[in-house]
Chain A
Amino acid sequence: MGKTIAEKIFDAHLVDTPEKGINVLRLDAVFCHEITTPVAINDLEKKGKDRVFDPDKIKVVIDHVTPAKDSKTALQGKILRDWSKRNKIKDFFDIGRNGVCHAIFPEQGFVRPGATIIMGDSHTCTHGAFGAFAAGVGTTDLEVGILKGVCAFKYPETMKIEVEGSLKEGVFAKDLILHIIGKIGVNGATDKVIEFTGTVISKMNMEERMTLCNMAIEAGGTSGICYPDEKTVDYLWKFIESDFGSKADALKEYSKWISDEDADYAQIIKIDASEVVPVATFGFKPDQVKPVSEFENVKVDQIYIGSCTNGRLSDLEIAAKVLEGQKISDDVRGIVSPATPEIFKQALDKGIIKVFMDAGFCVTNPTCGACLGMSNGVLAEGEVCASTTNRNFNGRMGKGGMVHLMSPATAAQTAIKGYIDNSPLFKG
């Protein structure tokens, strides 16, 4: 029997099997941010274990509330900053150089095919886009990861989602993943790895694959995962050039992770891409999804474009295409947050930031911001936000607020109209 990509990664990282079906894995990287790590740091200090398993394998960023909004968030940043310094962690991204964790770490080349990664953040599944096993964990798992470089997981069952055909013009990775979650439900993939395959995924660029994998957790998935291919190698080339003689060599090496043809799957779901249309969520769960065309005069108060799901350059480019030469409705406020300083700079160079500003958007620094209602962009009671983020839970963006998840194209058009509407990019 062949193996899936996740099984190959597990087998290559196995440290111990404390019980049949439970694997303790060696970690290639532990990512940290200022919300879930300080408690782990304090606890390690209290227990006299203030050390790290390997400072080069720990990557740290302040991203959730940045710049700090009050004394408490300033303290969280300080704990992280001081800890990184005393443990000689050199990859620490402080204010000015910081961006949303799941955007900046791939951008820095920290994610490689076949790697094992954990972070105290549920959207860590994003990094599976590179053919890595990347999972969100709690603070205790993070603490053990920091101290010992290991984490325990159930041997992974895999749900394979094959997307064949081609997406209609104006239908994006975000529409596809919302469509999938709508189909399988918020616990459709619980305890499973979701493997995204098929011609549509092969055609996607790395940013689109990250959008897909980012939301695997919204269906309960442990990790999303795509096969490494030429696009993965191209994206990583500047970081791996010295490790390989040629791109072909890198591709050959990375291809060994790809699932075997006779691998065993818990479930296989086939999706005809031509059936997917632009969608948005309508309730308080990410699986409450319907076509944008079925939203009748659903007015919004705020538009938020950004986050680890859709705050990358191609997302901003698509939104700017819709916004070019347009003004947002007088009845809404628009907020855009490029996910990293590099994305911000490129968006500036390409004139994208100007399009947003001319349209009437507020441009904020890279941060998780409004997505989880922790800092800028919080909703008032009864307000509605059209958002490119990943979670629409009741109160997520502020108590009594309502969030509709959608693609950057739909969000941009919604900003212009003041109500949820299909962008002209969709010709369907």
Chain B
Amino acid sequence: MKNFNGKVLFLDRDDINTDEIIPAKYLTEISKEALKPYLLEDLKLEGFNLKDIEDSSVVITRGNFGCGSSREHAPWAFEVNGINLVIGESFARIFRQNMFNCGMMAVSLQKDQIEMLFDEFAKEKDVYIETDFENKKFTIRAGSKKKDIVFSISEFDSKLVKSGGWLDFADKNY
């Protein structure tokens, strides 16, 4: 199973699209690793600095994240940067499916929970998330501040995460 723990990068906007996550001009690459320097290159967002990607492992964002293209290059660009978990209010269908297909996670939380995360943690300096996958629980920390958040994903998505993605699962079962 992939790592779902680490420092949080907050992306405070709805509808962040796949062209912003990885511009189409880099789709000529045929290795995932080659996408590494270009993650979120075209994202214009107040307070967001490309350098913030470097030590981050988790993204917290708003609604309809990953809308647009079907490019799996979007999850891959996160993956090769060590980010395997995106938490948001909602996701575009293909992006969400691509994440789980790669054994990564795109987890939806209620709007008020996302509000709370932004209100209470986004301005803190170092925010970390720990994931208890078995109990479906995130623990978010910043200094002495700490919150536990229970999340849910479907049984099927859970199987994909455990088996490392859809290819291995499908190859075994169909």
A contact residues vs B (CB 8 Å cutoff)? 15-16, 18-19, 21-22, 24, 35-36, 38-39, 42-43, 47, 49, 64-65, 70, 72-73, 75-76, 79, 120-122, 124, 136-141, 143-144, 147-148, 150, 152, 186-187, 190-191, 220, 222, 285, 372-374, 391, 393-396, 399
Question: A21, A79, A141, A399 — which one has the most chain B CB atoms within 10 A of its CB?
Answer: A141
Whether a CB of chain A sits under 8 angstroms from the CB of B115 is no
Q: B99: nearest residue on chain A (CB-CB)?
A: A138
Alpha-carbon distance A75/B75, docked complex (angstroms): 23
A-B pairs, top 4 by smallest CB distance, nearest first, are: A138-B72, A138-B98, A140-B101, A139-B72
Alpha-carbon distance A186/B27, docked complex (angstroms): 24
Pick from A138, A191, A285: contact of B101, CB under 8 Å: A138
The smallest C-beta distance from B59 to any residue of chain A, in angstroms, reads 18
Is A76 in contact with B154, judged by CB distance below 8 angstroms? no
Within 8 A of A (CB), among B18-35: 19-20, 23-25, 27-32
Is A79 in contact with B70, judged by CB distance below 8 angstroms? no
Q: B67: nearest residue on chain A (CB-CB)?
A: A186
- Interface size grouping (class) on chain B: 35 or more
A186 with B101, Cβ < 8 A, contacts A19-B155, A147-B171, A222-B93 known: no
Is B20 in contact with A72, judged by CB distance below 8 angstroms? no
Is B44 in contact with A148, judged by CB distance below 8 angstroms? no
Which residues of B lie under 8 Å from residue A38 when comparing CB positions?
Answer: 30
Given pairs A36-B27, A141-B97, A396-B19, 19 additional interface contacts (CB within 8 A): A18-B155, A19-B154, A36-B72, A65-B28, A72-B28, A122-B69, A138-B75, A139-B72, A140-B102, A143-B167, A144-B166, A144-B170, A152-B166, A285-B15, A374-B28, A394-B19, A394-B20, A395-B19, A399-B42
Pick from B25, B67, B97, B102: contact of A187, CB under 8 Å: B67
A35 with B27, Cβ < 8 A, contacts A136-B94, A138-B71, A399-B42 known: yes
Alpha-carbon distance A39/B97, docked complex (angstroms): 17
Within 8 A of A (CB), among B69-107: 69-72, 75, 90, 92-94, 97-98, 101-102
Is B94 in contact with A137, judged by CB distance below 8 angstroms? yes
Is A36 in contact with B92, judged by CB distance below 8 angstroms? no
Is A190 in contact with B94, judged by CB distance below 8 angstroms? no
Interface pairs (18), CB distance under 8 Å: A18-B156, A18-B159, A21-B154, A39-B72, A72-B30, A122-B94, A140-B98, A140-B166, A147-B170, A150-B170, A187-B64, A220-B64, A220-B67, A374-B27, A393-B17, A393-B19, A394-B42, A394-B44
The smallest C-beta distance from A292 to any residue of chain B, in angstroms, reads 24
The smallest C-beta distance from B52 to any residue of chain A, in angstroms, reads 19
The smallest C-beta distance from B35 to any residue of chain A, in angstroms, reads 11
Question: B67, B156, B173 — which one has the most chain A CB atoms within 10 A of its CB?
Answer: B67
Is A190 in contact with B70, judged by CB distance below 8 angstroms? no
Which residues of B lie under 8 Å from residue A150 when comparing CB positions?
Answer: 170, 174
Q: B28: nearest residue on chain A (CB-CB)?
A: A72
Alpha-carbon distance A283/B156, docked complex (angstroms): 37
A72 with B29, Cβ < 8 A, contacts A138-B75, A399-B23 known: yes
Which residues of A lie under 8 Å from residue B174 when comparing CB positions?
Answer: 15-16, 24, 148, 150
Q: A18: nearest residue on chain B (CB-CB)?
A: B156
Q: B170: nearest residue on chain A (CB-CB)?
A: A144
Which residues of A lie under 8 Å from residue B31 when comparing CB positions?
Answer: 39
Is A75 in contact with B68, judged by CB distance below 8 angstroms? no
Alpha-carbon distance A402/B52, docked complex (angstroms): 27
Whether a CB of chain A sits under 8 angstroms from the CB of B6 is no
Is A39 in contact with B98, judged by CB distance below 8 angstroms? no
Q: A150: nearest residue on chain B (CB-CB)?
A: B174
Which residues of B lie under 8 Å from residue A147 when comparing CB positions?
Answer: 167, 170-171
Pick from A22, A49, A121: contact of B171, CB under 8 Å: A49
Alpha-carbon distance A374/B69, docked complex (angstroms): 14
Is A187 in contact with B156, judged by CB distance below 8 angstroms? no
Which residues of A lie under 8 Å from residue B94 when comparing CB positions?
Answer: 122, 136-138
